[in-house]
Amino acid sequence: MTALTDRFGRVHDYLRISVTDRCNLRCLYCMPEEGVQFEPSENLLTYDQIEEVVRVGAGLGISKLRLTGGEPLVRPGLDGLIRRLAAIPGIRDISLTTNGVLLADQAEALRAAGLNRVNISLDTLDASRFRFIARRGDLKRVLQGIEAAAKVGFAPIKLNCVLLKGVNEDEIAAFLDMAAKQPLHVRFIEYMPIGHADDNWRNHYLPLTRVLEIAAENKLEVEPLSDVLGNGPSEDYRIKGGIGSFGLIHPISDHFCQRCNRLRLTADGSIKPCLYWVDELSVKPALGNPDSMHEIFMRAMDIKPLNHEMAAKLANEDQSHEPTARRMSQIGG
């Protein structure tokens, strides 16, 4: 087996697959409220084509998959794709990132198809604030999705909370309380400038050191944790005596690029070696030709940069590459 190793010695065994750029929410840190231009459905990779890409990737050492969007659960028949991907030799873990709105209705079918784990976006515990951040939707549906995920046996269940200065930072203590009292893994995530490194991003960016400060202010004893299942960049903790755990994902204040093990496949068919930079390699010319697809994966290793330099953007410093103009929903975070 040929390992996918880049110029800096990082071995890649993880592929994040966006199945759609469409979403039933319009979260303010992810996409504009109006005027979003979605890809025509005929431009999206079919499930057959996604399977073809994954088969080649698995032959090169890809063993972990994450399905993303947009909102992946708006694409029909996702359980069928999961069943096909789970049957590919070498694939041993399939997870899903979802906003949770449609999860209660699909959790059982997804689990039966072979989905191992779910990450659910939850940026607030307040219904009215949910409408402000997501611009539509119902917090109740997300909470029902979390309950359904637990009922069918997904574990661990991770909750992704993007912290926004002046918007939801006052809920840090409540999320820490949730992590202490429930068997959930709350992950606080720094707001990233994907496709929109503007003043709005700078004004709402909050370094995650604030989470540990809030824990200390509330006299919570925290201890490092290393046994949370998954393959992500989270710096994990447990509140002593607590049932669950929490994590910090801080790509800007303390980037984790030196440990990066992932590639991304966009819904319209491009391999992205790095979330932040503009570089993409279309897989469409290689469809039907495993050798050509193999070369695309290897080319992605050749062009992957050392790091993303988001911190330089925050400081208005020069950058060494061109940032992507695509929003997170168009790439698949």
The pLDDT of residue 179:
95
Rg (Cα) of the chain, in Å, rounded?
19
**Domain spanning 4-331: CATH superfamily:** Aldolase class I (3.20.20.70)
What are the tens digits of pLDDT across the range 77-98?
Answer: 999 999 999 999 999 999 999 9
Do residues 20 and 69 touch, judged by C-beta distance below 8 A? yes
Higher-confidence residue of 227 and 158: namely: 158
* Per-residue pLDDT, 254: 56
Is 59's pLDDT higher than 60?
Answer: yes
Q: What is the pLDDT of residues 244-260, one digit of tens each?
A: 999 998 766 555 677 78
Q: What are the domain boundaries of the chain?
A: 4-331
Q: Is the pLDDT of residue 312 over 50?
A: no
pTM of the predicted protein model: 0.89
What's the number of CA atoms in the CB half-sphere (13 Å) around residue 256?
Answer: 15
Give the three-state DSSP class for 66.
Answer: strand
* Predicted confidence band of residue 207 (pLDDT cuts 50, 70, 90): confident
Q: What is the DSSP string of 162-212?
A: EE-TTTTGGGHHHHHHHHHHSS-EEEEEEPP-SS--SHHHHHH---THHHH
pLDDT at 1 over 90: no
